[in-house]
């Protein structure tokens, strides 16, 4: 049987790899008894890890969310990926997250094993923004989280809007989508005071607490947030400003990370590590190729022409690699 400290780390590592673990399976994997599993779970709870008991025929455990952030375990690949992501955030100008990202990067480096610290110590990543006439606008992480929480909870958002907080009554809106467009975050919402759809710049929103009551979501004009936002910023009748091919995909990537690479198109947050991208191009093949550059799993929402383009692209890549497309 391994020492208690090593056994606790092994148990914590297993709990982070899947949602539910039967107690008997944990005992088999760690080569210990069920009684020892229960004792080790109690020790981890004393250290601040929120481990919940799962009811069922075999019983089991689940690593839950707590009120504080306890120490986390990362494998080597996760630690390197986290370091790179933090460097990009820390060196992206005017994103509102540079300073906390830099502090988090310092914390991560301090606790890294020496073998990883030497690897990432030589890594220097600097985000360079493409020149544009549209100045970026910094938005605090707390503001984005507050808006996103109201969207997912379906609660009326109360906020001051503008450069300064005033004594005027707050604006009231039914938040529907948090999106990015051309280096800025926007809230798409139904404005209760004006009785119409509005797009609010997130950097000008100062949320008030508490939120208002829950609401039943209305249907967006056109039924699609990407089409709505594109129409608002380009003009709904401006056919000349539209790409001949436009498609939508869902990617396994945080919306904030994706926006550092996307300059044209609409990014919609769907949850942690998940977002929707609607973007255009001059051909379906080039649109498919543009999506694959993100190197993450994705799902095609539509249209069918985009799915066909991915199939053709997959065949070409397979032939280039000397393999059968089948």
Cα–Cα distance between 263 and 129 in angstroms, integer?
A: 10
We find that the CATH architecture of domain 243-320 is 2-Layer Sandwich (3.30)
Which range has the top average pLDDT, 87-91, 116-120, 124-128, 210-214?
A: 210-214
pLDDT surpassing 90 at residue 163: no
Tokens of 283: 């051909």
Domain map (residue ranges) of the chain: 4-63, 76-121, 141-220, 243-320
Q: Which CATH class is domain 4-63?
A: mainly alpha
Task: Give whole-number Cα distances, 136 to 91, 180, 182, 229, 264, in Å.
Answer: 14, 11, 8, 18, 14
pLDDT surpassing 90 at residue 122: no
Average pLDDT score over the chain: 78
Cα–Cα distance between 263 and 259 in angstroms, integer?
A: 7
- Give residue-wise pLDDT tens across range 25-66: 888 888 888 889 888 888 888 877 888 888 766 678 888 765
Cα–Cα distance between 163 and 240 in angstroms, integer?
A: 34
Look at residue 157 in the predicted model and tell me its pLDDT: 94
pLDDT surpassing 80 at residue 131: no
Q: Which CATH class is domain 141-220?
A: mainly beta
Describe the crossing of helices 4-15 and 34-46 by its angle, rounded to 10 degrees: 80
């Amino acid at each position: 049987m391994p020492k208690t400290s090593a056994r606790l780390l092994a148990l914590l590592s297993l709990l982070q790899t899947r949602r539910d673990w039967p107690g008997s399976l944990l005992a088999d994997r760690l080569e210990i008894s069920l009684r020892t599993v229960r004792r080790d779970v109690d020790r981890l709870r004393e250290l601040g890890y929120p481990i919940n008991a799962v009811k069922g025929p075999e019983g089991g455990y689940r690593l839950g969310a707590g009120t504080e952030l306890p120490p986390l375990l990362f494998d080597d690949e996760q630690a390197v990926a986290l370091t790179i992501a933090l460097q990009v955030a820390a060196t992206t100008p005017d994103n509102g997250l540079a300073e906390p990202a830099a502090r988090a990067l310092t914390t991560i480096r301090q606790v890294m094993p020496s073998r990883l610290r030497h690897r990432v110590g030589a890594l220097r990543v600097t985000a360079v923004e493409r020149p544009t006439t549209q100045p970026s606008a910094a938005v605090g992480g707390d503001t984005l989280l507050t808006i996103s929480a109201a969207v997912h909870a379906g609660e009326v958002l109360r906020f001051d809007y503008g450069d300064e907080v005033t004594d005027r009554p707050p604006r009231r809106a039914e938040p529907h989508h948090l999106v990015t467009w051309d280096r800025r975050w926007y809230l798409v919402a139904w404005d209760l005071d004006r009785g119409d759809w509005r797009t609010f710049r997130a950097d000008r929103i100062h949320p008030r607490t508490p939120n208002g009551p829950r609401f039943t979501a209305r249907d967006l004009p056109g039924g699609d947030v990407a089409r709505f936002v594109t129409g608002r910023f380009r003009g709904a009748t401006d056919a000349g400003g539209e790409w001949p091919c436009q498609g939508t995909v869902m990617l396994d990537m945080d919306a904030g990370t994706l926006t550092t690479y996307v300059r044209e198109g609409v990014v919609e947050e769907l949850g942690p590590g998940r977002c929707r991208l609607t973007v255009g191009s001059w051909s379906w093949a080039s649109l498919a190729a543009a999506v694959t550059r993100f190197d993450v799993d994705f799902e095609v929402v539509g249209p069918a022409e985009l799915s066909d383009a991915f199939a053709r692209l997959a065949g070409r890549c397979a032939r280039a690699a000397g393999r059968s497309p089948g």
